[in-house]
Amino acid sequence: MKTHYDTVLRKMGTLVGLCTFLSLLCCVCADVVERFEDAPGCLEFFYREKVPDWGSSTPNAARICQRFVNRYHFATLYDTKHRIAVYSAYYFQPSNGGGREKRWFVEPQLVDSSWQAEMKDGYWLGQDHPGVYLGENQALNEDYTYSGFDRGHLNPNGHHPVPSRNATFTLTNVIPQNPKLNQNSWRIYESQLTDLFLDTCSKAYVLVGAIPSADNWIIKNDVKRVNIPQRIWNAWCCVDNNGQPVQSGAGSANNTEEDFVEEMSLDEMGEHLQQFSNQPVGELFYNNCRP
């Protein structure tokens, strides 16, 4: 015969199970995670689910699974000190048009970890939380206003269809980019990659990152707000229908009016990045995208 004590235990067990389920659900939904490996839906943006060591020792870095319309679209390792991304990781998808997003999103969980797990227009997030400063750990749209720099995408909107295209308009995927570079040689380089990926790859995995400058900032009200990177770089791994590598490459440019992209191999990119780090760069892709 079941006693009242048995019934209580059963209900407690159910409650514990429910709490565990809700805890796991919240973990899955979280935008900012301790490790990309903790979010399987976020790992798919890395070739063979290998997260590069590059940037992993960045102090106070945030790992963002970029969530928009309730699903992930790419991953970003974000430097909250310099308020620019170390890199964004994504896989190429043919664009279906859709134009440019008029909103600029911010990451709510970089303000408060208990806030919503989806990027939101910075203006409306401010309306939801009046009196709360949103820019302690991230750049805001007003930081770029009249700065003389473009809001330069790392993960480019032209490498995605809607709604992934819209999701790239988050300020955690943006750096202060020299307008001449952004609108000329880097734009052309991205367009050339589009043609290459469409012609050659069944799937292309891409990393796009920035190297912070020693002391060059967008300054607002005498406060150093957003670091102006000295370089922008890109690395990619192209695979066939069986997931086997068929081609790879990389490119890098000074973030100046020099307006020139230097293309190189992945091995050369590793050597290039090593100039800016005291830590070993390691492989940017699994087996450096070799068969």
Q: Which pair of tokens denotes residue 100?
A: 């440019």
Mean pLDDT estimate for the chain: 91
User: Per-residue pLDDT averaged across 158-187, rounded?
Assistant: 97
Q: What is the pLDDT of residue 39?
A: 93
pLDDT above 90: percentage of residues in the chain: 86
Q: Over 60: is that where the pLDDT of 6 sits? A: no
Q: Over 60: is that where the pLDDT of 19 sits? A: no
Q: Over 60: is that where the pLDDT of 85 sits? A: yes
User: Per-residue pLDDT averaged across 178-202, rounded?
Assistant: 97
Rounded to whole angstroms, the Cα distance separating 120 from 104 reads 8
Tell me if 32 sits within 8 A of 62, measured CB to CB: yes
Q: Of residues 98 and 200, which shows the higher confidence score?
A: 200
3-state secondary structure of 110: helix
Q: Over 80: is that where the pLDDT of 16 sits? A: no
Q: What is the pTM of this model?
A: 0.89
Q: What is the pLDDT confidence band of residue 45, given thresholds at 50, 70 and 90? A: very high
Q: What is the pLDDT of residue 7?
A: 47
Tell me if 79 sits within 8 A of 139, measured CB to CB: no
Q: Over 80: is that where the pLDDT of 168 sits? A: yes
Q: What is the pLDDT confidence band of residue 30, given thresholds at 50, 70 and 90? A: low
Q: Over 90: is that where the pLDDT of 32 sits? A: yes
Q: What is the pLDDT of residue 24?
A: 36
Q: What residues contact residue 73 under an 8 Å CB cut-off, 6+ apart? A: 66, 67, 90, 160, 163, 164, 167, 168
To the question of domain 32-289 being in CATH 3.40.570.10, the answer is yes
Q: What is the pLDDT of residue 217?
A: 98
Q: What residues contact residue 242 under an 8 Å CB cut-off, 6+ apart? A: none
**pLDDT per residue as tens digits for the range 108-134:** 999 999 999 999 999 999 999 999 999
3-state secondary structure of 63: strand
Q: Over 60: is that where the pLDDT of 18 sits? A: no
Q: What is the pLDDT confidence band of residue 96, given thresholds at 50, 70 and 90? A: confident
pLDDT above 70: percentage of residues in the chain: 90
Q: What is the pLDDT confidence band of residue 99, given thresholds at 50, 70 and 90? A: confident
